[in-house]
Amino acid sequence: MFQTKLRVDKEWPGGFEAGLEIRIDNQIIDGWEIELRFDQAVLLDVWLGDLRSKTDDRIFVYRNKDWNAQLSAGSVFDFKFVAHNGVAPHNLVCAFFNGKSILTSSSEVANASQTTTSSQSTLASSTSTSLIILNGKYNYGEVLRMSLLFYESQRAGKLPANNRIIWRGDSMLMDKGQNGEDLTGGYFDGGDYVKFGFPMASFTTLLAWGALDYEDAYQHSGQLHHVREAIRWSTDYFIKAHVSEYEFYGQVGDGYDDHASWSRPEDWTKPRPAWKVTRQQPGSDLLAETAAALAAASLVFRSSDPSYASTLLIHARQLYDFANQYRGKYSDSIPNAANFYNSWSGYGDELGWSAAWLLHATGEQGYQTDVEKHYAEFELDRQPQEFSWDDKTAGVQLLMAKITQKLTYRQQVENFCNYIVRQAPKTPKGLVYLDQWGTLRHAANVAFLCLQAADIGINTQEYLTFASQQIGYILGDSGRSYVIGFGHNYPQRPHHRSRQVDSICDWSAFNNPGPNPQLLIGALIGGPDRNDNYEDRRDDYVKNEVATDYNAGFQSAVAGLLHYQLKG
């Protein structure tokens, strides 16, 4: 008989989290099967095995995953699960492992919160990540506050009377379209002053998603008004840029001209070019992403400002139809964008993404039909390797899983997050490493997406653990903070013109080795290399650039962690 202990990590009214610690006497090479029997109907979250059968919601049989089919002799297999639906540990009446009884009502039960008292480090190693989140050392509400200040630092145009960034002023008030249309407002992309519409729309969608699903976190931290204002600063600009049904301005400012200067945006006086997409010069990816942002934002404002929400939805519908009817890559129509934000993945993912958000916002069956068409045409059932401003495939899968609860979408989400959590490259200190550009941005984006998967009961505890670890790395677990102004040893020399320039507005300021004169509070920098190496150097723009899309998934993931902390 296998030696087994039921370890209860956490218990609350109506549910508990536990692990079956099974000592393996002989090596298992051909896989395993475990059966759990309860004396009442329960709901189970299990992430180490695949459900083979279920009887009356009381008897559950799980089979190994491909990656854990082999178990070494002498090892302890920790089969973790979370039980819901008015259940307590005593309702688990027996368990079987490979057909042998391993647990009965008289078996040993260990309660982690009672037996682990010797030290904080011992507690952390034996309890679940949900406890780490609930008793976390990081002030997530303060991180949200700082991140939103970063977005205010990136505003272009006429600043409001309640501007909180004292070193920023009005800028680029000359921004106009080709026929004199008002294109002031919006956000500067990063450490430069170009308004790239594609990543601006992408980060707005992510901010709106987090604000929508984790509103309690923003409410609790006193940041709900500020996150809505951050989203509105984008959406007001998108409405301006949509000058007619089939005309949309996707970029203001020449990236090459901009990068040749090191000065403050307030001091820029030179007229700036503006490029648009039309029926003759299409931009399906740009248009569809903007439609997604507007549809997501309409849900954010639906209760607080229903008239504005309706306006957003009108533009979202029109831009989606424009994108779908007149197809093409925006970076082909706006060549200046190609060396900065080229549409590598094409426009199929954005068409599916925007249709999914319009389905979410309207409930109209026609948009679900469109998602399914885009799935087939652009093979959106594939397993992506990232979730980014360019590739929305994983987001489409997740959003459709949340909306429809269909098993096919849920399986795609699980495949993606399992790859990220279990197989994707990691640094020695545990950061998931997907790309050298915006390393932390990529880690935060997938942390947010896997938090969303946890929300719908997919490997909940495993994905919460992962998200908590990734955000913890960023906030200080790595030995330093990568968020400017927060925590210990944060960066002081980000590659950012407006923050770095003071009285000297030229390249001599860039070459100054000292810290930047203004603090770019809340900005997430690019991050370390694959070996956790990082140097705070302004001239290393790969590691020290900041960008509006860097903060979006990060901020939404932090809101998600605070949401779970509040659920307690």
Q: Which residues are catalytic?
A: 192, 495, 536, 545
Helix axes 439-455, 197-213, angle to 10 degrees: 40
Edge-to-edge order in the sheet of strand 248-252: 195-196, 248-252, 274-277
> How far is Cα 168 from Cα 154, in angstroms, rounded to an integer?
9
Single-letter residue type at 323: A
> How far is Cα 522 from Cα 505, in angstroms, rounded to an integer?
23
Q: What are phi and psi of 426, to 5 degrees?
A: -125, 150
CA nearest neighbour of 63 among 99, 90, 87, 91: 99
Question: 334: part of which helix (H) or strand (E)?
Answer: none
The number of beta carbons lying within 10 Å of the beta carbon of residue 160 is: 11
Question: 197: part of which helix (H) or strand (E)?
Answer: helix 197-213
> How far is Cα 167 from Cα 498, in angstroms, rounded to an integer?
9
Rg (CA), the chain: 25
Compute the Cα dihedral for 358, 359, 362, 364 and give only its sign: positive
Residues 6+ apart with CB under 8 A from 107: 4, 5, 6
Q: 326: which DSSP letter?
A: S
Single-letter residue type at 545: E
Task: Write the DSSP assignment of 247-307 as a string of letters.
Answer: BEEEEES-HHHHHT--S-GGG--S---EEEE-SSS--HHHHHHHHHHHHHHHHHSTTT-HH
Give me the residue label for tokens 């030995």.
Answer: 479
CA nearest neighbour of 288 among 323, 328, 236: 323
Give me the residue label for tokens 């997604």.
Answer: 292
Give how far Cα 68 sits from Cα of 7, 99, 253, Å: 21, 18, 52
